[in-house]
Every structure is written in C-alpha cells, then in structure tokens.
C-alpha cells in the first residue's frame, strides 16, 4: 500500500506544489544532490518508448507477440474477438505510430523530464526496486531522510482539502454519475467511506520515522518495526464460514417457495443493476476517459488521432470488461451468497418480484446489520481479505504497515456501515421510502 501511495505522490506533488516552495520548505533534500543526476526518470521513459518503436519495426517480434497473445485468448470468454484483435495488432500499432515519433516529447508531456521532484522520488523507488528481490536483513542503504521526506509530503498531500474535494468530485462525476438509479447509493459510499480512508491513512503517516522503520528505510535501533501478522489458512476458512452463517441468518422466499438469503438477493440485484447501467452508459464512460486521455495526456498535435482511435474501440473494450464480472462471483467472494448457490433460485424471482422486494429487503438488512454487524466476523473478514489480496501479493515488501492500515480501515468500515444502517441511509439512497 505504501508503494502505491508513494508512487501516487509523485503525480500529486507535481500537480499541487511548485518547485520553488518544495526546495525552500524542505531541509531534507539537498538541491545540489540533484545536479549530478542526468534525469534518470526521463532517460528510462525514453528508453521504454524507443523499445516499443523498435519492436513495431521488427516483423519477427510482432509475430512472437501475436503468438503469445493468441495463447492468452483461450483464458478469456471472448476467444474469437480476442484472436481477431491479436491478428490485427500490427494495424493497431500503426495507428499508434504518430504518438511514438518523439520519445522525449511524450516523456516531457507526462512531466518525467526536467522535474527534480520526480528525480527525488525516482531515487527512492529505484532503491526499493533493487531491494525487492533481496532479503531485507541487511542494513538499510537508502537515505532515511529521503524516506521521511516522502512520507511528510504524502501526508501534506492527503491533508489538502482541495485535493480531497477533487478526488470526491471525480468519483461522483465520473463513476456515480453513470449508474442511473444507483447513483444515490454510489454517492453515499463515496461521501461516507472516502473520508474514513483518508483519515486512517493520515493517522498512520503521522509518525514518518516509524513508517520508514517499518519499510526498512531507517535504522530500527530506536524503534521496533511493527510485527507482520499473517492470517493462516485455518483462520481464513473459519472467518469465511462465520460470515456465510451471518449473512444466512436473514432469508426470504420466492412465490414458488425457494429460500434465498436476503443479502444474496440484494447483492445480486445490485450488481446486475450496476452492470446494466454501466453497459447502457458505456459510450458516456468511454467519452469521459477519451476526453481525459486525448485532451490532458497526449500532445495537442496527437489529439485528433487519439480521439479517432478511442472512439472506435473504447466502448467495446469497456463493455467486454464489465461483462467479465458476474453478480454470482462478486457476491460469493464477499460471502453474501453461499458457494454452493443454485442460481436458479435467484432467477426464479420475476422482474416484478425483484423490484417489489428491493426496498423491503434492504430495510430488513439495515435492521439486521444494526443489531448484529458489530458482533459479527465482518471486521476480521474485511481485514483478512484485504491483507491477503493486497498486502501479501501486491505490496509484500510493505506488509506490516499495509496490514496495520487494513486493520484500522476494517474497523472503521464496520462502524460506519452500522451507523448508515441505523439511520436507514442505504434504503434512502436507493430511493426507498
């Protein structure tokens, strides 16, 4: 998690703080140190672009790429469409060719050249990259001050009210705005849970030295790194079993007598509804992405080509991506539905049944969560799920501090959910009266 946040900081700091204020207010980073750096981030960016250019000119490499991608097509549910795309990948690369003519112009456009802030963080991230595949028992080689500087900058960025508002507005306008009847529910989630996420992250960053000790950037002689805690297989299975029992504690019957957990009904109904809304709005979603990419990222002389390319392919790509996700898979993953669920039970409800039961089920679930959620295994389930999927896989090197963040976030998530359920805000967000 820390790796991701530090990486995001590179962009955030560049956007919201000018170079002069950073150098004047920060006493840790010495500008003289940066004079000897020949824009390593810029050079690496140009190197990557150049490799893409070289590969596009090599028929042998293109054929090898087609062969590898064709094999991967078998893993998708769109085998024929995937193979069609792969067989014509050289045409797509030709379409992208105008973007690749000037590597330095591209890298400058995304602020990776002549940017001292990027170079400062580039040093930091390079050190971690070099150490990621090695044991962390050796003494830290990275400069402790640079790590503490990064943590302080990240904390400052998180506390920036304008940035928080921008993030909130972006999610509401570009995500919630396309969800039709579920927009109110999405707005509620953004408004209530995003501040909790920021608050917990800010609290962890309040002690920069401890954070840097945790990620092995500073000497631990004065402080002890947080202990890394792993959920073993038995614990995870017990937690998941408890969650299935919890959600199965409130059931409903179809008109044919089939029994279904209310949580499963509401979860699948919501996921199906969100999918339908997003697919129906795929052109609007694609338009938002296209506008951002073509007007704010690529050089102005490439805007027209960017618009042509994305307007043709992006809506289809978005629909294919959305359709890869199933309500059954999502609801079983969060234990709202049992693994052995007979999908015909859910499908036995007619459209009228779904609509007429939606609000009643949500209100019953709110009452059930209000009385039972805090004593359930939900906190441990959220913590173990996030720890296993994020801390142990994506950001293993930062596992201890990542797990601490997931722990406090899970507790806050449960308390906020109980509060919202107690005040019937979920059902109100779905326009239930």
Residue 396, pLDDT score: 61
Residue 420, pLDDT score: 92
Structure letter (DSSP) for residue 225: P
**Pair of tokens at residue 236:** 């995870």
Residue 418, pLDDT score: 92
The 10 Å Cβ neighbour count of residue 395 is 17
CA distance linking residue 369 with residue 390, whole number of Å: 26
Residue 7, pLDDT score: 35
Place of tokens 């503490």: 148
- Average model confidence (pLDDT) across the chain: 76
Structure letter (DSSP) for residue 377: S
Regions of the chain where pLDDT drops below 50: 1-38, 132-142
**Pair of tokens at residue 58:** 């090599």
Residue 190, pLDDT score: 92
CA distance linking residue 119 with residue 175, whole number of Å: 33
**Pair of tokens at residue 430:** 């779905």
The alpha carbon dihedral of 421, 425, 431, 433 has a sign of positive
Helical H segments across 223-302, by residue range: 233-247, 262-280, 282-296
Phi, psi of 298 (to 5 degrees): -75, 155
CA 384 distance to own-chain centroid:
17
> 205 in helix, strand or coil?
coil
Contacts of 424 (CB under 8 A, 6+ apart): 363, 366
**Pair of tokens at residue 275:** 């999918």
Structure letter (DSSP) for residue 176: G
Nearest to residue 194, comparing CAs of 150, 158, 153?
A: 158
Nearest to residue 334, comparing CAs of 246, 259, 415?
A: 246
Give the number of C-alpha atoms closer than 13 A to the C-alpha of residue 356, restricted to the C-beta side.
7
Contacts of 236 (CB under 8 A, 6+ apart): 384, 388
**CA terminus-to-terminus distance, the chain:** 40
Q: Identify the bridge partners of residue 356 per DSSP, sorted by sequence position.
A: none
Residue 77, pLDDT score: 61
The alpha carbon dihedral of 283, 285, 290, 291 has a sign of positive
Burial (CB < 10 A; 0-12, 13-18, 19+), residue 337, is buried
**Pair of tokens at residue 431:** 């326009």
Report angle CA 176, 180, 181 to the nearest 5 degrees: 105
CA distance linking residue 244 with residue 247, whole number of Å: 5
**Pair of tokens at residue 371:** 């009385």
């Amino acid at each position: 998690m820390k790796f991701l946040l530090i990486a995001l900081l590179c962009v955030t700091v560049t956007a919201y703080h000018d170079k002069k204020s950073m150098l004047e207010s920060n006493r840790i980073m010495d500008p003289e140190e940066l004079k000897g750096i020949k824009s390593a981030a810029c050079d690496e960016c140009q190197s990557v672009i150049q490799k893409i250019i070289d590969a596009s000119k090599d028929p042998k490499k293109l054929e090898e790429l087609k062969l590898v991608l064709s094999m991967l097509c078998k893993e998708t549910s769109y085998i024929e469409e995937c193979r069609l795309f792969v067989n014509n990948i050289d045409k797509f690369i030709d379409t992208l060719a105008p973007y690749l003519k000037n590597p330095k112009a591209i890298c400058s456009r995304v602020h990776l050249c002549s940017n001292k802030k990027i170079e400062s963080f580039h040093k930091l991230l390079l050190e971690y990259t070099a150490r990621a595949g090695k044991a962390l028992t050796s003494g830290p080689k990275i400069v402790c001050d640079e790590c503490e500087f990064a943590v302080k900058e990240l904390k400052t960025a998180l506390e920036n009210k304008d940035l928080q508002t921008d993030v909130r507005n972006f999610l509401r306008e570009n995500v919630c705005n396309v969800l039709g009847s579920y927009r109110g529910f999405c707005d509620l989630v953004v408004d209530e849970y995003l501040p909790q996420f920021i608050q917990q992250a800010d609290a962890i960053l309040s002690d920069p030295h401890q954070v840097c000790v945790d990620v092995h950037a500073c000497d631990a002689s004065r402080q002890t790194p947080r202990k890394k805690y792993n959920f073993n297989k038995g614990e995870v299975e017990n937690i998941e079993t408890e969650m299935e029992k919890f959600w199965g504690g409130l059931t409903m019957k179809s008109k044919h007598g089939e029994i279904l957990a209310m949580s499963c009904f509401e979860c699948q109904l919501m996921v199906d509804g969100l999918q339908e809304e997003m697919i129906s709005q795929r052109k609007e979603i694609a338009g938002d992405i296209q506008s951002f990419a073509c007007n704010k990222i690529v050089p102005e002389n490439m805007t027209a080509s960017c618009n042509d390319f994305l307007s043709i392919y992006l809506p289809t790509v978005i629909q294919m991506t959305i359709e890869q996700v199933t309500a059954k898979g999502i609801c079983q993953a969060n234990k709202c539905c049992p693994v052995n669920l007979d999908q015909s039970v859910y499908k036995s409800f007619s459209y009228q049944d779904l609509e007429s039961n939606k609000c009643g089920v949500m209100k019953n679930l709110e009452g059930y969560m209000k009385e039972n959620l805090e004593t359930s295994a939900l906190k441990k389930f959220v913590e173990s799920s996030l720890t296993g999927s994020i801390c142990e896989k994506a950001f293993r090197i930062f596992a201890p501090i990542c797990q601490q963040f997931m722990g406090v976030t899970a507790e806050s998530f449960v308390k906020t959910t109980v509060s919202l359920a107690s005040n019937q805000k979920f059902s109100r967000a779905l326009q239930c009266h």
